[in-house]
Chain A
Amino acid sequence: MSRNKVAMMPMIRLNFARLAALLAAALALSAPAHAESGWGLLNMTKGVTAISRRVYDLHMEIFEICVAIAIVVFGVMIWSIVKFRKSKGAVADTTLVHSTRVEVMWTAIPVVILIVMAVPAARTLVVIEDTTNTQLSIKVTGFQWGWQYDYLDQGVSFISRLDRQSDAARALGSGTDPNTIEHYLLNVDHPLVVPVGTKVRLLLTGADVIHSWWVPDFGVKKDAIPGFVNEAWFNVDTDRPGLYRGQCAELCGRDHGFMPIVVDVRSKEDFAAWVKDELAQKQATAPAAQAPAASTAAAPAPAPAASTATGPGAAAPAAG
């Protein structure tokens, strides 16, 4: 009888496994066919900066330590569950209620493990917090619902919002299948443009409520708080120009889910050319484009730039 019960357990587990596989298969069939599958999206990005890679390594290190601890602790638990069953005739050893040696051990060992975790974390944090020697400063103002970017030394500034295609498709009952929109909800009309290999400093603030500027590939997430200025920085690898996407990460009202961030990282030359273009355009439309930062919400939205979705290494955007 007791043998039967023991034998049942793996069988039940097996059935659940089969059930799960079936369920997964059914899901895969019912899911609409779109280009990139989401099943493989399981882990944090390594990103394209030295910091984002350090953060990734740190994340993996802590994760692996946790998995190792879990294997040991869960192993003992499972062993106890399997081995010390009453149905298998296990008799309780009621004297086993205290052991100073064991208790000191399992207090001390975790402390050591924590120190092993804390040291690299603290080191990385010190580097992240070093905002000196930056080469380009951009003021980032989050507002409901979009971002304003002001290049402090170049005199370039613009507003960046969700692109029109996504904006139309995301309306309730739009009838548009999001799978047909390129970079649905992760595309903007006017991306932030920065050069590679440059320590870019962001000065973040909020115009109305708190927002949070997050680009996973840079390992940067920082709150944009009205009335205060926060600092963050990133330095994209010279061999990794391209388009990098993120979103507002702090609940900021109705359209919080619809204020993406796109950063167009270019070679230094392309960036210089872009600045020149922007300034030229600004001159050409000087009277109209004088909308200062104070009236962000009322500022005319720049014309949509269809070229933001064209991929890494794109030439100057067709905005204008």
Chain B
Amino acid sequence: MAEHSNAASHADHDHHDHKPHGWRRWVFATNHKDIGTMYLIFACTMFFIGGFMAMLIRLELFKPGMQFFDPQFFNSMTTMHALIMIFGAVMPAWTGLANWMIPMQVGAPDMALPRLNNFSFWILPFAFTLLIGTLFVPGGAPAGGWTMYPPLVLQNGASFPMLIFAVHMMGASSILGAINVVVTIMNMRAPGMTLLRMPLFTWTWLITAYLLIAVMPVLAGAVTMLLTDHFFGTTFFTAAGGGDPVMFQHIFWFFGHPEVYILILPAFGIVSEIIPTFSRKPLFGYEAMVYATASIAFLSFIVWAHHMFTVGMPLAAQLFFMLSTMLIAVPTGVKVFNWTATMWKGSLTFEPPMLFALAFLFLFSIGGFSGLMLGIVPADYQYQDTYFVVAHFHYVLVPGAIFAIMGGVYYWLPKWVGNMYDMTLAKWHFWLSTIFVNVLFFPQHFLGLAGMPRRIPDYAVQFTDWNMVSSIGGFGFGLSQLLFVYVIVKCVWSGKRVETGRVWEGAHGLEWELPTPAPYHSWTEAPSDSIIAKGAAH
């Protein structure tokens, strides 16, 4: 309770929109919106850097034969693309959205720990400068895959310690960000904002934050063991010294599978906000959605070995991980059914956020189906490490996580800046992205099933046709994203003013009870119980 009275009295003598000017506003930022903005700009920058690497990958794979790069550089590109997209684009984008939206959604003036917030953001530019800097050191950038499997990862040159330290920094940043989210949600909710009144985006982020706190230290431990294996003579992962390279994979994927849900749970949250708004109907099965999210999070801790069915595990272990993996389809199915039921008997309109949410619904489901197929161990022996896997995880990450991020930006951008964006251009961005993302990734299912391994710079000639299609889709998708930036910049600079607090007709939730654009300090006075009840609307 103390927080709330503090916040209120603080607001009394704090002027409206009082903020530092110039570079100090950003470097010393403690405001959740400023930090959120920096996170989002950072994520967008990384999205384009990682995307550029993807373009180079698709360029080399456009036809068989080595046209442009040395295989080692190609391997660096696949490794760096993954690290940058996961840790640099998607995760910071989620933290940026969390920063912006969680205080607004729970009725708080700001995040609970503003200086920690500043620190967790400012670690990132250094971490990624270090990581991207590896491109310029002897031996080139890390080329052993983002999964950093030993012994291969130990063959990296000067980039190796840089990679490890960069991963440590990213992990620290994520943990601090997650702590801030948990503390904010647990302590800064307005009176009356009970846990089961919280919007789904806040809910999914709360669960995501716990996952982050649970598994990022595991990753840090795993890479530290790599570091000591390399420099201090330990043999955690070397059979000759009594270690086991497969142990790294177990530890890595114990982090890695919850990480997958760290990337997608907030997407579930956003989609659960957007679909009710544009269906003009409350979310169907709110509580089931919360419990499904929690179940998915729990299950994510006991399925890790499905990433490594070919390493030679005992039969019982394989059966266990197959069954636990299949079980995830149940809560995930519940979510998809609930979203569908939300649209049922609704009154639907198709503004850009809704379009992205709908594409998410269809395309994420396709990724879910291929995920289910991958869980079937005997079939996985054929799928493992092929383009089928590449198609699967790109379906859940690009039209999954990234479409949800874009949908979220289109949903909340008018609230943030007080201007509406160009709907026509945004729809163009949507249709181009959706078409090209399918041209890009759908044929990769075929390639994988036909026998093309992943992470190869050159391929047998029978794979040419679908690789060309995939590359064309890739270039198209990449170029379409420039439109996204243009739409945002145009909106911020010269968008049409939005006067109403509730930007969208069917929007519910506390963020829409604030004026537009959202004030610098969100809820300087706690919202009343009636406003909270109205916002919760379920």
B residues less than 8 Å from A309 (CB atoms):
none
- Asked if B362 and A41 sit within 8 Å, CB to CB, the answer is no
Give the distance in Å from the alpha carbon of A250 to the alpha carbon of B345 in the complex.
49
Contact pattern, B 367-397, Cβ under 8 Å of A = 1, otherwise 0: 0010011001111011011100000000000
Give the distance in Å from the alpha carbon of A223 to the alpha carbon of B75 in the complex.
20
- Asked if A170 and B461 sit within 8 Å, CB to CB, the answer is no
Interface assignment of B486: CB less than 8 Å from any CB of chain A: no
Interface assignment of A183: CB less than 8 Å from any CB of chain B: yes
- Return the contact of B312 from the options A27, A37, A73, A230 (Cβ within 8 A): A230
Chain B positions 305-331 with a Cβ under 8 Å from a chain A Cβ: 310-312, 315, 318-319, 322-323, 326-327, 329-330
- Asked if B465 and A44 sit within 8 Å, CB to CB, the answer is no
B residues less than 8 Å from A178 (CB atoms):
64-65, 458, 461
- Asked if B346 and A257 sit within 8 Å, CB to CB, the answer is no
Interface assignment of A276: CB less than 8 Å from any CB of chain B: no
A residues less than 8 Å from B463 (CB atoms):
38, 41
- Asked if A117 and B283 sit within 8 Å, CB to CB, the answer is no
A residues less than 8 Å from B310 (CB atoms):
212, 221-223, 249-250
**What residue in chain B is nearest A94 (Cβ atoms)?**
B281
Least CB distance, B253 to chain A, in whole angstroms: 14
Give the distance in Å from the alpha carbon of A76 to the alpha carbon of B506 in the complex.
22
Interface assignment of A172: CB less than 8 Å from any CB of chain B: yes
Interface assignment of B1: CB less than 8 Å from any CB of chain A: no
Interface assignment of B494: CB less than 8 Å from any CB of chain A: no
Give the distance in Å from the alpha carbon of A91 to the alpha carbon of B385 in the complex.
48
Contact pattern, B 140-152, Cβ under 8 Å of A = 1, otherwise 0: 0001110001011
Least CB distance, A222 to chain B, in whole angstroms: 6
Chain B positions 331-384 with a Cβ under 8 Å from a chain A Cβ: 333-334, 336-337, 340-341, 343-349, 358, 361-362, 365-366, 369, 372-373, 376-379, 381-382, 384
- Asked if A121 and B322 sit within 8 Å, CB to CB, the answer is yes
B residues less than 8 Å from A24 (CB atoms):
469
- Asked if B361 and A256 sit within 8 Å, CB to CB, the answer is no
Give the distance in Å from the alpha carbon of A205 to the alpha carbon of B152 in the complex.
15
Interface assignment of A299: CB less than 8 Å from any CB of chain B: no
- Asked if B450 and A41 sit within 8 Å, CB to CB, the answer is yes
Interface assignment of A147: CB less than 8 Å from any CB of chain B: no
B residues less than 8 Å from A69 (CB atoms):
369
Give the distance in Å from the alpha carbon of A110 to the alpha carbon of B323 in the complex.
13
Chain B interface residue count, CB cutoff 8 Å, equals: 100
- Asked if A223 and B311 sit within 8 Å, CB to CB, the answer is yes
Interface assignment of A4: CB less than 8 Å from any CB of chain B: no
- Return the contact of A97 from the options B286, B456, B466 (Cβ within 8 A): B286
A residues less than 8 Å from B358 (CB atoms):
77, 81
- Asked if B461 and A179 sit within 8 Å, CB to CB, the answer is yes
Interface assignment of A156: CB less than 8 Å from any CB of chain B: no
- Return the contact of B151 from the options A84, A87, A179, A210 (Cβ within 8 A): A210
Interface assignment of A284: CB less than 8 Å from any CB of chain B: no
Interface assignment of A176: CB less than 8 Å from any CB of chain B: yes
Chain A interface residue count, CB cutoff 8 Å, equals: 105
**What residue in chain A is nearest B386 (Cβ atoms)?**
A249
- Asked if A110 and B333 sit within 8 Å, CB to CB, the answer is yes
Give the distance in Å from the alpha carbon of A310 to the alpha carbon of B352 in the complex.
57
- Asked if B239 and A209 sit within 8 Å, CB to CB, the answer is no
**What residue in chain B is nearest A124 (Cβ atoms)?**
B378
**What residue in chain B is nearest A28 (Cβ atoms)?**
B465
Interface assignment of B71: CB less than 8 Å from any CB of chain A: yes
Least CB distance, B299 to chain A, in whole angstroms: 13
- Asked if B458 and A92 sit within 8 Å, CB to CB, the answer is no
Least CB distance, A220 to chain B, in whole angstroms: 7
Interface assignment of A240: CB less than 8 Å from any CB of chain B: no
Do A43 and B450 contact each other (CB < 8 Å), given the known contacts A84-B344, A179-B461? yes
Stretch in A99-107, A190-198, A289-297 with 4+ CB within 8 Å of B: A99-107
Do A226 and B245 contact each other (CB < 8 Å), given the known contacts A55-B378, A80-B343, A84-B343? yes
Interface assignment of B42: CB less than 8 Å from any CB of chain A: no
A residues less than 8 Å from B71 (CB atoms):
254-258
Most chain A C-beta atoms within 10 Å of own C-beta, residue among B65, B327, B333, B435:
B65
Give the distance in Å from the alpha carbon of A186 to the alpha carbon of B453 in the complex.
12
Interface assignment of B72: CB less than 8 Å from any CB of chain A: yes
- Return the contact of B344 from the options A76, A223, A251, A258 (Cβ within 8 A): A76
Interface assignment of B497: CB less than 8 Å from any CB of chain A: no
A residues less than 8 Å from B280 (CB atoms):
86, 92, 94
- Asked if B459 and A257 sit within 8 Å, CB to CB, the answer is yes
Interface assignment of A7: CB less than 8 Å from any CB of chain B: no
Least CB distance, B533 to chain A, in whole angstroms: 15
Interface assignment of B236: CB less than 8 Å from any CB of chain A: no
- Asked if B312 and A80 sit within 8 Å, CB to CB, the answer is no
Do A184 and B461 contact each other (CB < 8 Å), given the known contacts A94-B281, A225-B246? yes
Least CB distance, B83 to chain A, in whole angstroms: 14
**What residue in chain A is nearest B65 (Cβ atoms)?**
A178
- Asked if B279 and A227 sit within 8 Å, CB to CB, the answer is no
Do A169 and B457 contact each other (CB < 8 Å), given the known contacts A106-B337, A254-B71? no
Give the distance in Å from the alpha carbon of A31 to the alpha carbon of B471 in the complex.
13
A residues less than 8 Å from B149 (CB atoms):
209-210, 251
Least CB distance, A202 to chain B, in whole angstroms: 11
Stretch in A57-65, A133-141, A267-275, A312-320 with 4+ CB within 8 Å of B: A57-65
- Asked if B347 and A98 sit within 8 Å, CB to CB, the answer is no
- Which residues on A are within 8 Å of B, measured CB to CB? 16, 23-24, 27, 31-32, 34, 36-39, 41-45, 51, 54-55, 58-59, 62-63, 66, 69-70, 73-74, 76-77, 80-81, 84-87, 90-94, 96-99, 102-103, 106-107, 110-111, 114, 117-118, 121-122, 124-126, 128-129, 169-174, 176-179, 183-186, 208-210, 212, 214, 216, 219-223, 225-228, 230-231, 246-258
**Interface CB pairs A-B, < 8 A, 26:** A45-B451, A59-B373, A66-B373, A73-B337, A74-B365, A80-B340, A80-B343, A81-B343, A84-B343, A84-B345, A84-B348, A90-B348, A92-B279, A94-B281, A97-B282, A106-B333, A118-B323, A169-B65, A178-B458, A184-B461, A186-B460, A208-B151, A212-B385, A225-B245, A253-B143, A257-B458
- Which residues on B are within 8 Å of A, measured CB to CB? 63-72, 75, 143-145, 149, 151-152, 155, 238-240, 244-246, 279-286, 288, 310-312, 315, 318-319, 322-323, 326-327, 329-330, 333-334, 336-337, 340-341, 343-349, 358, 361-362, 365-366, 369, 372-373, 376-379, 381-382, 384-386, 435, 446-447, 449-451, 453-466, 468-469, 472, 506, 538
